[in-house]
Amino acid sequence: ERTLLITGIGELVTNDATLDATVPIGRSDAGGAVGVLWNAAVLIEGERIAWVGSVQRAPDGADAVVDAGGAAVIPGFVDSHTHLVFGGDRSAEFTARMSGHRYEAGGIRSTVAATRAAGEEVLRTRLHRLVDELRDQGTTTFEVKSGYGLDAATEAISVRLAREVTPEVTFLGAHVVPPEFEGRADEYVDLVCGEMLDACAPHARWIDAFCETGAFTVEQSRRVLEAGSMRGLMPRVHGNQLGAGGGVALAVELSAASVDHCTFLSDADVAALAGSETVATLLPGVEFSTKQPYPDARRLLDAGVTVALASDCNPGSSFTSSMPLMVALAVREMGMTTGEAVWAATAGGARALRRDDIGVIAPGRRADLVVLRGPSHAYLAYRPGVPLIERMWMGGVEHC
Ligand code: NIG
Ligand code: FE
């Protein structure tokens, strides 16, 4: 297989914790980043990483050599939470919110109407445009949810389109109760667990439910997640976004891979997460766009909870696809160090998707990596709003 040596890496953030034991300069110099090497090189063979080490020991004879010129290199971002299949526009809702209107989950319904009306080709074109946008900002793996169709036909189209762009597809029929089921939420849940799940399960890997006042109760969410599990889908949960509810407890009870939002948490929620395999995925684009208080990442990290960062890219609560922005917000607003934020946006996302082939730069892992336009991972927070992706490889193939 063809080999490529990337040399001249000023700061290599590997997320490989085993390196911290062997590298003499510890974490304090690295802003809390994990497994940092300075003056490093990486050898890629085919779609995998073959070797990682210092420039002086780099193997000779690679088919191609790229000099990073002293730049920082990090694993590609893993965006474990997006809603990229939708029609319509909600900029007016955003504008109203910025002048004082509250965010309500009900806004989702306007996107549902637009998505049903859009037609498959329009949805596909818009989806692909958003995927390009994500990639241009350094995202090498991303999850996509359905949830703006909310009838069997449109949900099936949504998961099929999502499957064209990623293996990480989530069926979110339980996003909100659509208008035609107003006042009949339990009947809608029957549809989600029956005909809709039949149509969507073959294209999905995950099942999700929005467990929140104004969306679905704990009991309804549990029914949906268990029905999905019976069909081989693994659970993840939207919870504790708008208030302290039972979403986190349900996610832990079901050993969900992740519970996402986690903005309002009780001490019991934090303790439950700390004692579980469930990742807390924080979505600070939502707090930015809804003017809610940011989640307290420090509290979760200090309790020993595994934290991921994701964009939640969607037309209502967070219409950004920028993982660098998530890192910047996490550092500025949520008490994370630069290194913790980069870990959460890469290795943390991989954990939230139960993937052990990505999120870490180490031999045997997928060659998904990003050369930053700057000498340190800290630039992601230090230079907010600036394009910082110099070059990127996905599975050993350069993205141009
Ligand atoms: O993750 N929380 C529920 N769903 C989306 C919001 C969707 C919308 O407002 O359209 C979210 O924030
Ligand atoms: Fe979401």
Q: What angle do CA 25, 50, 326 make, to 5 degrees?
A: 60
Q: 223 and 151: one domain?
A: yes
Residue carrying structure tokens 């929140």? 212
The angle, 0 to 180 degrees and rounded to 10, between the axes of the packed helices 152-165 and 120-136 is: 40
Q: 86 and 33: one domain?
A: no
ipTM exceeding 0.90, yes/no:
yes
Domain boundary among 319, 335, 352: 352
Q: 321 and 386: one domain?
A: no
**Residue stretches of the annotated binding site:** 81, 83, 90, 148, 175, 238, 241, 312, 314, 316-317
Q: 22 and 165: one domain?
A: no
Q: Is the shortest distance between the CB of 379 and ligand 1 below 6 Å?
A: no
pLDDT < 70 regions, the chain: 23-29
Nearest bound ligand to the CA of residue 85 = 1
Q: 344 and 369: one domain?
A: no
Say what the pLDDT of residue 29 is: 63
State the average pLDDT for the chain: 96
Q: Is the shortest distance between the CB of 263 and ligand 1 below 6 Å?
A: no
Q: What angle do CA 219, 227, 206 make, to 5 degrees?
A: 105
Q: 348 and 382: one domain?
A: no
Locate the ligand 1 atom nearest the alpha carbon of residue 241 and give its number: 2
Ligand 1 pocket test: pick from 83, 282, 292, 309 the residue with the most ligand atoms within 8 Å of its Cβ: 83
Q: Is the shortest distance between the CB of 108 and ligand 1 below 6 Å?
A: yes
Say what the pLDDT of residue 25 is: 53
Q: Is the shortest distance between the CB of 393 and ligand 1 below 6 Å?
A: no
Q: 217 and 111: one domain?
A: yes
Q: Is the shortest distance between the CB of 316 and ligand 1 below 6 Å?
A: yes
Q: 56 and 100: one domain?
A: no
Tell me the per-residue pLDDT of 112-145, one tens digit each, with 9 for 90 and over: 999 999 999 999 999 999 999 999 999 999 999 9
> Residue ranges of the alpha helices (H) in 142-241?
152-165, 185-191, 197-200, 218-230
Q: Return the CATH number at 260.
A: 3.20.20.140
Q: 185 and 68: one domain?
A: no
Tell me the per-residue pLDDT of 197-220, one tens digit each, with 9 for 90 and over: 999 999 999 999 999 999 999 999
- Centre of ligand 1 to C-alpha 320, Å, is 13
Cβ neighbours around 302 below 10 Å, total:
12
Q: 256 and 391: one domain?
A: no
Q: Is the shortest distance between the CB of 145 and ligand 1 below 6 Å?
A: no
Domain count, the chain: 2
Cα–Cα distance, 400 to 397 (Å, whole number): 9
Q: 387 and 333: one domain?
A: no
- Centre of ligand 2 to C-alpha 144, Å, is 10
Q: 131 and 163: one domain?
A: yes
Q: Return the CATH number at 15.
A: 2.30.40.10
Q: Are strands 279-282 and 64-67 parallel, antiparallel or unpaired?
A: unpaired
Pair 15, 34: CB distance under 8 Å: yes
Which domain range does residue 285 map to?
78-352
Cα–Cα distance, 175 to 154 (Å, whole number): 13
One-letter amino acid for residue 53 of the chain: G
Q: Which two tokens stand for residue 357?
A: 């082939």
How many helices (H) and strands (E) the chain has is answered by 15, 17
- Please name the residue whose Cα sits nearest to atom 12 of ligand 1: 317
- Centre of ligand 1 to C-alpha 75, Å, is 27
